[in-house]
Amino acid sequence: MALPLMAKATAVWLVDNTTLAFTQIAEFCGLHELEVNGIADGEVAVGVKGFDPIANTQLTIEEIKRCEDDPKAKLELMYNPAAEGELKRKGPRYTPLSKRQDRPSAIAWLVKFHPELKDGQISKLVGTTKPTIVAIRDRTHWNIGSISPVDPVALGMCKQIELDTAVAKAVNKMGGTEVMSDDERMKLVSTEQSLHMTEEARVPSNMSGLENFTLTGAKEKEPKLDVDSLFKTPAAEANEDEDK
């Protein structure tokens, strides 16, 4: 489904200037209904100036009026040649200025926990350049001593579904899904594959043999102590001999 230009700004304008339902605005602008509700409450898109879809030939007054009269109707976007390819952009994404300082941490996390990702994939996920990725991967970055790996999803630099898709694509290109040996880097194994693995495969090789180890077995090797003998005094032993 084609989306209007400046979708969030368009949603702001529709919330402020029409009586359309939040569901109608959300479907037209490609947003979640709760996000549109947040715009109406002033919690989302604070400071965003509304973008008039009528003046920009994306909607007509008649179309808005039709959907205002029928809450179940859906807004239809007018054909706009300028919107062609709006959802098919290539290259690294735009990263806000407030989050650009977090990019090295996100790159370090991806390099450490997902070595199967290519530099181009990391570049698209966090909006950075390949030289920066190479510098962090080779630990030649000028600020490498202060960089701590942080999940890019937690930083808000990409969505979890985008990261999962990139990882799955990288694993498929590598070919094979078996776990490598210890001296090699371990490939990603999906949850479904992990559930079908044998118990032996789930135990790391450096712990092999410990899965059958029990504390009771270790204690059996120790000599068994006679508790009664610990509390017998020489006088008590003499009395027992006399009784015998």
Between CA 150 and CA 153 the distance in angstroms is 9
Give the model confidence (pLDDT) of 124-154 as tens digits: 888 888 999 999 999 999 888 999 999 988 8
For residues 82-98, give the mean pLDDT. 54
pLDDT level of residue 200 (50, 70, 90 thresholds): very low
Decide if 227 is inside a domain. no
Give dist(CA 225, CA 199) in Å, integer: 38
Label residue 5 by pLDDT band (50, 70, 90). Answer: confident
Q: Is the whole-model pTM more than 0.85?
A: no
Question: Does residue 212 carry a pLDDT above 70?
Answer: no
Q: Where are the alpha helices (DSSP H) in 93-198?
A: 103-113, 119-126, 130-137, 160-174, 191-195
Q: Which among 60, 83, 106 is the end of a domain?
A: 83
Residue 111 has pLDDT above 90, yes or no: yes
Banded model confidence at residue 205, pLDDT cuts 50, 70, 90: very low
* 187 and 113 fall within a common domain: yes
Q: Give CA–CA dist 60/20, Å, rounded.
A: 14
Residue after which a domain boundary falls, among 57, 83, 109:
83
Cβ atoms of 6 and 43 within 8 Å: the answer is no
One domain, residues 167 and 201: yes
Query: Would you call 132 exposed, middle or buried from its count of C-beta atoms within 10 A (0-12, 13-18, 19+)?
Result: middle
User: Residue 237 and residue 40: Cα distance in Å, rounded?
Assistant: 92
